[in-house]
């Protein structure tokens, strides 16, 4: 039977157990004794009438009930952190804040590993929840607080949202080395003679590319449609298909590819970060936006060097 109340220290133990997977590690993280952490877990189990964590090897794994509680408990503790701290205070070295971010797949590939690396020393306890959704749902989630930041192609200006440019990407064509039409890929005739791997993700840039290709004298021959860009290099490298992709994808691509300028008017696009007006002056959010800009600048400097 559930007790009437559950206090904040118990919720912090729950959160740490999810993150660390061990009573010993949770106690160390929270600066309490192991017996205190064990007693807290017992209190949580009595309150919910559920074991909450089951041992699997050397780790404690959340039960379905515990997994269902994670986001709500994280949100409660984050809200508590916000109201307890002065409005102008955010210390990334000790903050346990979780940022919920939408990223297009290209941003995941180019920015996310670097963002996590930058946090290792500066913000070891800050966490990220990366998600994906359609533009309409993302705007709603930014407005209602379910999402903190969206990284993608530009949207129409809205009073409830702020935005800033992160990076610009060229659009390139790719084919396998030794493609039968290698010498003609940059011409309209050669481009349209090929069979294409097409990215069917929604968004302004893909729409611009599709419209630019549709403006050519004849329809392209679509042999394969995929939901995102990440699998395209491997597909193209092992077939006679060609594709039009963001140039940044190639910097992380393992297969060697022939790169050419596609004969279309769309040559580049911008990736931006969008956030709700209510977070414009939030110190933690300002830190996150600055960190992302720094990550992009460092990546550009390394590429130029």
Going along the chain from its start, the domains and CATH numbers come out as: 8-84 (1.10.10.10), 98-155+274-304 (3.40.190.10), 167-269 (3.40.190.10)
Residue 85 has pLDDT above 70, yes or no: no
Averaged pLDDT for residues 96-101: 90
Q: Tokens standing for 294?
A: 């720094």
As a three-state string, the secondary structure of the chain is: CCCCCCCHHHHHHHHHHHHHCCHHHHHHHHCCCHHHHHHHHHHHHHHHCCCCEEEECCEEEECHHHHHHHHHHHHHHHHHHHHHCCCCCCCCCCCCCEEEEEECHHHHHHCHHHHHHHHHHHCCCCEEEEECCCHHHHHHHHHHCCCCEEEECCCCCCCCEEEEEEEEEEEEEEECCCCCCHHHCCCHHHHHHCEEEEECCCCHHHHHHHHHHHCCCCCCEEEEEECCCCCHHHHHHCCCCEEEEECHHHHCCCCCCEEECCCCCCCEEEEEEEEEHHHCCCHHHHHHHHHHHHHHHHHHHHHHC
pLDDT at 261 over 80: yes
Q: How many C-beta neighbours within 10 Å does residue 221 have?
A: 12
Average pLDDT over residues 15-28: 91
Contact 185, 260 (CB under 8 A): yes
> What residue has token string 């930058």?
118
Q: Which two tokens stand for residue 60?
A: 């404690």
Mean pLDDT value of segment 113-122: 90
pLDDT at 42 over 50: yes
Evaluate if residue 27 carries a pLDDT over 60: yes
φ, ψ for residue 130, nearest 5 deg: -95, 130
Maximum Cα interatomic distance, the chain, rounded to a whole number of Å: 75
20 vs 4, residue with greater confidence: 20
Cβ-Cβ contacts under 8 Å for 220 (sequence gap 6 or more):
191, 192, 194, 196, 198, 213
How many whole angstroms separate alpha carbon 127 and alpha carbon 141? 19
Q: CB-based contacts of 143: which residues, under 8 Å, 6+ apart?
A: 160, 276
Most confident of the ranges 105-114, 132-141, 179-188: 179-188
Give the per-residue pLDDT at 305: 60
Share of residues in the chain with pLDDT > 70 (%):
93
Q: Which pLDDT does position 87 carry in this prediction?
A: 54
pLDDT at site 191: 97
| pTM exceeding 0.85 | no
Residue 15: CA count within 13 A, CB half-sphere: 21
Mean pLDDT (the chain) is: 88
Percent pLDDT > 90 in the chain is 52
pLDDT tens for residues 210-246? Answer: 889 999 999 999 999 998 888 899 999 999 999 999 8
Q: What pLDDT does 300 receive?
A: 74
The predicted model gives 129-150 an average pLDDT of 83
Cβ-in-10-Å burial (0-12, 13-18, 19+) of 233 comes to buried
Question: Would the pLDDT of 197 be above 50?
Answer: yes
Instruction: Give the integer Cα–Cα distance in Å for 268 and 170.
Output: 4
User: Crossing angle for the helix pair 112-122 and 283-304, nearest 10 degrees?
Assistant: 120
Give the orientation angle of helix 64-84 with respect to helix 8-20, to 10 degrees: 120
Answer yes or no: are the C-beta atoms of 250 and 174 closer than 8 Å. yes
Task: Provide the pLDDT for residue 106.
Answer: 81
Which pLDDT score is estimated for 190?
Answer: 97
Report the pLDDT value the prediction gives residue 240, as an integer from 0 to 100.
97
């Amino acid at each position: 039977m559930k007790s009437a109340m559950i206090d904040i220290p118990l919720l912090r133990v729950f959160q740490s157990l999810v993150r660390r997977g061990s009573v010993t590690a949770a106690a160390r993280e929270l600066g309490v004794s192991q017996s205190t952490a064990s007693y807290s877990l017992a209190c949580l189990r009595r309150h919910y009438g559920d074991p909450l964590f089951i041992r699997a090897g050397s780790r404690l794994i959340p039960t379905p009930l515990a997994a269902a509680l994670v986001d709500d408990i994280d949100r409660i503790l984050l809200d508590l952190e916000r109201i307890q701290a002065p409005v102008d205070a955010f210390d990334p070295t000790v903050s346990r804040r979780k940022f919920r971010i939408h990223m297009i797949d290209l941003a995941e590939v180019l920015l996310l590993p670097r963002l996590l690396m930058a946090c290792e020393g500066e913000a070891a306890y800050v966490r990220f929840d990366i998600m994906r959704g359609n533009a309409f749902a993302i705007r709603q989630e930014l407005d209602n607080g379910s999402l903190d930041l969206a990284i993608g192609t530009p949207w129409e200006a809205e009073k409830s949202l702020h935005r800033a440019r992160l990076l610009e990407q060229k659009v390139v064509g790719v084919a396998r080395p030794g493609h039968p039409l290698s010498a003609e890929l940059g011409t309209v005739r050669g481009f349209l003679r090929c069979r294409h791997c097409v990215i069917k993700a929604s968004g302004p840039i893909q729409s611009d590319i599709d419209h630019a290709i549709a403006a050519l004298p004849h329809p392209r021959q679509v042999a394969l449609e995929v939901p995102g860009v990440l699998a395209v290099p491997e597909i193209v490298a092992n077939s006679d298909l060609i594709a039009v992709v963001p140039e940044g994808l190639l910097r992380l691509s393992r297969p060697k590819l022939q790169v050419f300028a596609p004969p279309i008017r769309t040559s580049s696009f911008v990736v931006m970060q969008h956030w709700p007006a209510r977070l414009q002056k939030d110190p933690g959010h300002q830190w996150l936006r600055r960190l992302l800009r720094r990550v992009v600048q460092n990546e550009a400097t390394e590429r130029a060097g």
